[in-house]
Amino acid sequence: MLKTLACGAAALALIGVSAPAAAQGGPPASPYAQRVDRPSCTLDELKQITASFVAGQRAGDMSGLPLAENAHYLENMETVDAAAGMWNTPLAIDYDMSLHDPVRCKTFTEMVVTAPVPYIIGTRLYVHEGKIIRVDSIVTREGDWLFNANAFLRYSRAENWEPLHEYQRTDPAEMIRGANAYLDGFSDKFTDIPWGIPCARLEGGGYTNRDNRPDASCEVGMPPGVLYLTNRDYLVDEEMGSINVFMRFGSSETGGPDSHTFRYIDGKFRLVHTLTVIPGPQADDFGAMARGAPDPNAD
């Protein structure tokens, strides 16, 4: 046995593969709960957790949630102390919508706050064996890309985010493929994106179907140039026909924190919501570009 291990180590050295960092005195292990390849949870459990999370956010008190002692807390993709995140601030939530993935044991909750300080927040909770092991929030505010909480509230309330009939649902693998095709379209304008009709895109507050046209399309143009959307992390809710992707916009290290949520019906995109922590033009209360701001969808 010892001889076998020695031979294996020698072989690794010959091909330039190093032993684990811990064996070489590398950086210490993370103090946070580790992500799990195949986590354990139930759909009912996830739904109870998101209901408790929204109630806790209203109160600014997360003590009612089953948080692991070593849970990892992130806000806008930066590690923060548990006591420092927005989840500790009582918020008057005007609208919330949650997605649940009992395969990956993740939840996503979108919340809109219009007063006294407006925010649009997308929070991921990662669950394993009854405990929340990761809290990951994207918090957008005035100054972020196309931000307008009043417009986001207006159109979110008008949209249909009810669970789909079984026959309207899309295979999870196709939802991931289609979402990736859309996101790849920022760097390759020839990808096969599953556009549907009607479809509306809500970007921070900017809305592509303000007139509620039955023939509206989300295919209103990608920004010019080559932009890479990296570090993609997926959540698939089959009941809602939706996929949420957390990623970085433009760079794997410094790109802006970004959330894209796609609502499928019969295999096609019908609704798209985005939150992006990047400075940019603002939207007005009706989802149009604020006067004088450049249109990001112009070709």
DSSP secondary structure string for all residues of the chain: -HHHHHHHHHHHHHTTPPPPGGGGT-SPPPSSPPP-SS----HHHHHHHHHHHHHHHHHT--TTS-EEEEEEEEETTEE--TTTSGGGS----SEEEEEEETTTTEEEEEEEE-SSS-EEEEEEEEEETTEEEEEEEEEE-TTBTT--HHHHHHHHHHS--SPPPGGG---HHHHHHHHHHHHHTTT-TT----EEEEEEEEETTEES-TT--TT--S-S-PPSS---EEEEEEEEETTTTEEEEEEEES-TTTSEEEEEEEEEETTEEEEEEEEE-SB---B-TTSSBPTT---TT--
For 242-296, the pLDDT digits (tens) are 999 999 998 888 999 999 999 999 999 999 999 999 999 999 999 998 865 555 5
Q: Which has more pLDDT, 92 or 8?
A: 92
Q: Which CATH class is domain 149-276?
A: alpha beta
> What's the pLDDT score for residue 5?
41
For residue 24, is pLDDT > 60? no
Report the C-alpha gap between 201 and 272 in whole angstroms.
5
For 133-149, the pLDDT digits (tens) are 999 999 999 999 999 99
Q: Count the alpha carbons within 13 Å of 20 in the hemisphere toward its beta carbon.
A: 4
**62's tokens:** 């997360």
For 89-103, the pLDDT digits (tens) are 999 999 999 999 999
Quickly state the pLDDT bin for 9 (edges 50, 70, 90).
very low
Q: How far is CA 209 from CA 125, 155, 281, in A?
A: 31, 9, 19
Strands of the sheet containing 78-79, edge to edge, are: 78-79, 67-75, 131-140, 119-128, 106-113, 95-101
Query: Which percentage of the chain shows pLDDT scores above 90?
Result: 81
For 110-137, the pLDDT digits (tens) are 999 999 999 999 999 999 999 999 999 9
φ/ψ of residue 108, rounded to 5: -135, 130
Least confident of 84-88, 180-184, 286-290: 286-290
**50's tokens:** 């998101």
CATH number for 43-140 (one of 3.10.450.50, 3.90.1150.10, 3.60.70.12, 3.10.105.10): it is 3.10.450.50
Domain map (residue ranges) of the chain: 43-140, 149-276
Q: Does this chain's domain 43-140 share its CATH topology with 149-276?
A: yes
Look at the block and give the residue holding tokens 């990736």: 180
> What's the pLDDT score for residue 291?
61
Least confident of 27-36, 135-144, 237-246: 27-36
Report the C-alpha gap between 287 and 270 in whole angstroms.
18
Quickly state the pLDDT bin for 1 (edges 50, 70, 90).
very low
> What's the pLDDT score for residue 39?
97
> What's the pLDDT score for residue 250?
86
Q: Count the alpha carbons within 13 Å of 136 in the hemisphere toward its beta carbon.
A: 19
